[in-house]
Structure 1
């Protein structure tokens, strides 16, 4: 008969210990989320807003081939092209009758897929109907990523310019022939940017 109370005591002790383990495991601090690495190739349509000045940006990111392309439609304005290469060369041009082109050489190329490494986690915010994790990158940009899908929703530059991501197609690639800057871009003097 003495075994029954001891057996009951052991069962109760094991239950208490297992519940205690679950409670202590639940009180451990959660790790801060980290931003998703960008896919090596994607297409995004973005609405850009800076104090009411609106643009639609058709963004093609292609890390595999070392290139990034922003096709920019200003509200009721010109269609302009911003073609960037991983060697730091960027072409800013139009394809209309004006045939304008400016070539600029930067010290760095396009953003790496892991460009958000080291960003400071700022918590969660609701943005445009999405619950987002938010990071700050060197006081230059605030990046909002959907908690569920890990896709970018918005980023805000230190200047106040906002980029609202409308579509995000992983793996989409623009045809190679569209990546060629027009011939008149190669007759202009290059400008160095420090």
Structure 2
């Protein structure tokens, strides 16, 4: 004679019913996944980066604050980097023709990239994979990944960027401390200084078309991490152009 099966306890039945109801509600909701908020065409953001545990990412001071000025109408992007206790900030001025100038008061390095500045729709225009919600720094965020290069956190309530993590060997993470749409930087701050251009350059040479060998910096800390971040962002710019 087969043994008599005991019915499941009432509490277990209730839990199973609640779980089934939740699953059905989620599947039947039909709500679209959240979409990333496009960047404003102009904004200022203050970023914090800590490379203390990423020695391969930088030979310079690991703690830094960056003032990011994004200016899509003029197709340019500027990072003003202040290292801890340093009185000489590093400028990273990027142009849409693929040229970037990295300079401080005495040194300059010019780097050429195959693509230009990220467009405002680099994430929202397609190709981003929604990874769900997460809390970063106490802020409830939507999270997306793109092109296997970056994980992007956006405040769920406002659409403001909160943080982005680069998916490379260096693992650079940047945290948004302040975000100000519409704020622009005066034109004079975008101009590369004279020591970025050797005397034998054409005096009328247009900024952004300098030779790759122009005034190579003797300071390695001029931006190993920044160059890597810029390289990945340029890859993202290229990826954005394909969608």
TM-score where L is the length of structure 2: 0.65
Alignment match, 2:56: none
**Equivalence map 1:7-26=2 (5 Å):** none
Q: Counterparts of 1:89 and 1:153 in 2: how far apart (Å)?
A: 27
Q: Which among 127, 130, 138 is matched to residue 121 of structure 1?
A: 130
Q: Counterparts of 1:162 and 1:76 in 2: how far apart (Å)?
A: 21
Q: Counterparts of 1:44 and 1:72 in 2: how far apart (Å)?
A: 12
The alignment status of 1:151 with 2:173, answered yes or no, reads: no
**Equivalence map 1:52-91=2 (5 Å):** 52=53, 53-77=62-86, 78-91=88-101
Contact 1:48–1:54 at 8 Å: present in 2 too? Answer: yes
If each structure's strand is expressed as a fraction of its own residues, which one has the higher value? 1
Contact 1:51–1:161 at 8 Å: present in 2 too? Answer: no
**Structure 1 residues 164, 24: closer, same or farther in 2, change over 3 A?**
closer
Contact 1:66–1:110 at 8 Å: present in 2 too? Answer: yes
Note the residue ranges of structure 2 that are not aligned, 5 or more in a row. 1-23, 54-61, 199-209, 214-230, 236-243
Report the Cα offset of residue 24 of structure 1. 8.2
CA RMSD of aligned residues (A): 2.2
Alignment match, 1:110: 117
SS at match of 2:197: helix
Report the Cα offset of residue 93 of structure 1. 0.4
Report the Cα offset of residue 73 of structure 1. 0.9
Residues 34-90 of structure 1, C-alpha deviations (whole Å, 9 max, x = no match): 111100000000101223521100000000001100000112344211000011110
**Structure 1 residues 49, 25: closer, same or farther in 2, change over 3 A?**
closer
Larger Rg: 1
Alignment match, 2:35: 34
The alignment status of 1:174 with 2:196, answered yes or no, reads: no
TM-score where L is the length of structure 1: 0.80
SS at match of 1:178: helix
**Structure 1 residues 37, 93: closer, same or farther in 2, change over 3 A?**
same
Q: Counterparts of 2:128 and 2:183 in 1: how far apart (Å)?
A: 26
Alignment match, 2:212: 190
